[in-house]
Amino acid sequence: MATISLKHNNPKVNNIHQQKGHIIIEEIEGLIRVHKDGHVERPQIVPNVSCKVPSENGVTSRDVTINRDTNLFARVYVPSSILLLTSHNNNNNNNKLPLLVYFHGGGFCVGSTSWICYHEFLNNLAIKANCVILSVDYRLAPENRLPLAYDDGFNALMWIKHEALNGTLYNGGSNKQNWWLSHCNMKLFLSGDSAGANIAYNVATRLASSNINSSCLNPFCLKGVILIQPFFGGEERTFSEKHFQQPQNSALTLSISDTYWRLSLPLEATITRDHPYCNPLANGIVNKLRDLKLPSIMVCVSELDILKDRNLEFSNALVKAGKKVETFVYKGVGHAFQVLNNYQLSHYRTQEMMSHIKNFMN
């Protein structure tokens, strides 16, 4: 797996400065620069990779278009072994795999399903967890503030349902773009890391809300939600946020987290860090969790992550609300270790996490 090093300094927080005649109002060096006139720059700190690059581990990947109007697309990963099995008998559901819909991280503001670190991680996860993966390339803030990323996630699921009901599952995958659906069974999982985990959770709660019919995903059945270091926040700092010291090239420091939230939350004057998009446990929301018909949830926590305490508090709240939750803490690694691969233990912990995901899905 590629090693990605985020060589940025602390973001310039609330520090308006000039560069080449332009006024920059927000910046995380090396990742994103927001100008006063609304122009946004995203330096190519992480290489993009084409889906057509041959896989070394036997995974076929292709890009598919979900909505041309919003430029919403996804990258699909299918283990090559299942292609051989289902090509002989498309109607044998025993030869088909669960579908994992994945959302990448990046504070809602950066990142892509075509980033090499996500491409390689999901290639490996498809093999290790024995599943088909659809990685959604949702719209980014600040041009597209929340809840637009949630809308993209929900609309991606509705598109999957539409394609399935149009006969792709039952007619041998005759649609050239959606051939991969014929290799899926009806078991659906939502997942993501960091901001992507936040998206996965919010899409799951939208599906579980009382105003959406329980057959919303038919013919698929949502079996579980896998949250990897979910990116949440709040007005009151946790112990790990205040006291966990992070190296300069860390994927998430407290100042970087603050910048991401300023850029991604809605602009309404009444919005605070305790908005439910940011803090799922604020303002009495915990009591409402009991009424949500959520599937089983897996929460992956990194021991050195500034989000550690917030993630554990979230997991405990779900348990108290009567939800089925499995929580794993990965020792000695920090935020996004599974894609950055810049910790000594990251490879071992990534394999450990993939095994836990496989067991959870089975």
Residue 22 lies in a domain: no
Tokens of 249: 């090239």
**Cβ(169)–Cβ(181) below 8 Å:** yes
Q: Which residues of 118-129 are buried (b: 16+ CB within 10 A; e: fewer)?
A: bbbbbbbbbbbb
Confidence (pLDDT) at 243: 95
Q: What is the mean pLDDT of residues 177-205?
A: 94
> Does the model's pTM come out above 0.85?
yes
Which of 112, 194, 240, 257 is catalytic? The answer is: 194
- Band of residue 111 on the pLDDT scale cut at 50, 70, 90: very high
Residue 3 lies in a domain: no
Number of structural domains found in the chain: 1
The string of DSSP codes covering 69-101 is TTTEEEEEEEEHHHHHHHHH-TT-GGG-EEEEE
Token pair 């990142």 is at which residue?
Answer: 111
- Band of residue 82 on the pLDDT scale cut at 50, 70, 90: confident
Beta bridge partners of residue 48, listed in sequence order: 115
Confidence (pLDDT) at 170: 46
Q: CATH number for the domain including 343?
A: 3.40.50.1820
Q: pLDDT, tens digit, for every residue of 292-305? A: 899 999 999 999 99
Q: Which residues of 219-231 are buried (b: 16+ CB within 10 A; e: fewer)?
A: ebebbbbbbbbbb
**Cβ(234)–Cβ(258) below 8 Å:** no
Q: pLDDT, tens digit, for every residue of 233-247? A: 999 999 999 999 887
Beta bridge partners of residue 22, listed in sequence order: 19
Residue 225 lies in a domain: yes
Residue 126 lies in a domain: yes
Residue 134 lies in a domain: yes
Determine whether 37 is exposed, middle or buried from the number of CB atoms within 10 Å of its CB (0-12, 13-18, 19+): exposed
Q: What is the mean pLDDT of residues 310-323?
A: 96
Residue 21 lies in a domain: no
User: Range of 127's domain?
Assistant: 42-361
Q: What is the mean pLDDT of residues 62-71?
A: 96
Beta bridge partners of residue 63, listed in sequence order: 75
CA 180/CA 78 separation, integer angstroms: 7
Residue 142 scores a pLDDT above 60 = yes
Annotated catalytic, 194?
yes
Q: pLDDT, tens digit, for every residue of 3-15? A: 555 555 444 444 4
Residue 1 lies in a domain: no
Strand 17-19 relative to strand 59-67, pairing: unpaired
CA 154/CA 144 separation, integer angstroms: 15
Distances (CA, A) of 316 to 237, 324, 350: 18, 11, 23
CA 362/CA 353 separation, integer angstroms: 14
Residue 102 lies in a domain: yes
The torsion angles phi and psi of 45, rounded to 5 degrees, stand at -75, -30
